[in-house]
Amino acid sequence: MAQAISGSGIKHPYHVPDPSPWPIVGSIGALTLAFGLISYMHPDILGQGLSGTFKALGAWKLLPGFALVLYTMYMWWSEVVSESRTPGLHSPVTRLGLRYGMFLFIASEVMFFLAFFWAFFHFALYPEHANSETWPPKGVSVFDPWDLPFLNTLILLTSGTTVTWAHHALIEGNRKHLVWGLGLTILLGIAFTACQAYEYAHAAFGFKDGVYSSTFFMATGFHGFHVIVGTIFLTVCFFRAVNGHFTPERHFGFEAAAWYWHFVDVVWLFLFTVIYWWGSAGAPIAAH
């Protein structure tokens, strides 16, 4: 480590990033996107005089913020990838800090999902709080947990196997199997998202149809968003693997993606068990 650091002119084992415009640009993009979402849902937010204009723009007012956020992500992460390949920057101490950071990030995501599970359990155990005698409330037709949800469970568990295969191939220096494992994992992630989109399109209830549908779509939809993010994460790793960026000794970028993907797997197991299976017991199954 000392040799690599001294060879790069760095006199300490810590990584101090260069001044970057992306935090402030990303903040502006996030604020613009948030305003676009609010004006999309509440076009009269700035008064009745502008509500007609906001309604006429429709979903197009989301485009500037969304584009700026995506541009920031691309540029910022490109710099991070470049830093990881610069000798001396990502020392063992820095890589340890990155591991702590990723662990704490996943822990914060656990708290997000805990809130959604808490809401679902609250109404499932005390349905009178949802003005109902039963859970799911009367009139709600649910998904058959052993139909498409079970297929999605198999898809996601299989993807956990393929990403583990890719990880072992990387450790063994087998780039061919690394690329194959990552490619299959990405395809399985896309298949999962496609199945969930089909499921949503054929749901017997809408987001605004009551507390059951709201908690269902919030929990499963938030997870679906994480699957999309994880798929993008793995896709970046796929192209980095093709270009030989990872070595058996230095591949934290891939490790972080694998941790995230396994986290998504585990959350889905809880979702399937609690919401699709236990939480829908006794309710009529929707016909498709």
Q: What is the pLDDT along the chain (288 residues), one digit of tens a residue?
A: 444 444 555 667 777 777 889 999 999 999 999 998 888 888 887 777 777 777 888 888 889 999 999 999 999 888 888 888 877 777 888 888 889 999 999 999 999 999 999 999 999 999 888 787 888 888 888 899 999 999 999 999 999 999 999 999 999 999 999 999 999 999 999 999 999 999 999 888 888 888 899 999 999 999 999 999 999 999 999 999 999 999 998 899 999 999 999 999 999 999 999 999 998 887 788 766
pTM score, whole prediction: 0.85
The tokens of 269 are what?
């197991």
Burial 129-139 (b: 16+ CB within 10 A, else e): ebebeebbbee
Fold assignment, 94-288: Four Helix Bundle (Hemerythrin (Met), subunit A) (1.20.120)
Element at 48 (helix H, strand E): helix 48-57
pLDDT, residue 3, reads 45
pLDDT, residue 225, reads 94
DSSP state of 277: I
pLDDT, residue 8, reads 53
- Residue 199 makes CB contacts below 8 A (sequence gap 6+) with 143, 148, 149, 152
Between CA 76 and CA 228 the distance in angstroms is 19
pLDDT, residue 9, reads 59
- Residue 64 makes CB contacts below 8 A (sequence gap 6+) with 32, 36
What 21-25 contacts at long range (C-beta under 8 Å, 24+ apart), as own/partner pairs, is 22/72, 22/75, 22/76, 22/79, 25/68, 25/72
Q: How many other C-beta atoms lie within 10 A of the C-beta of residue 188?
A: 23
pLDDT, residue 182, reads 97
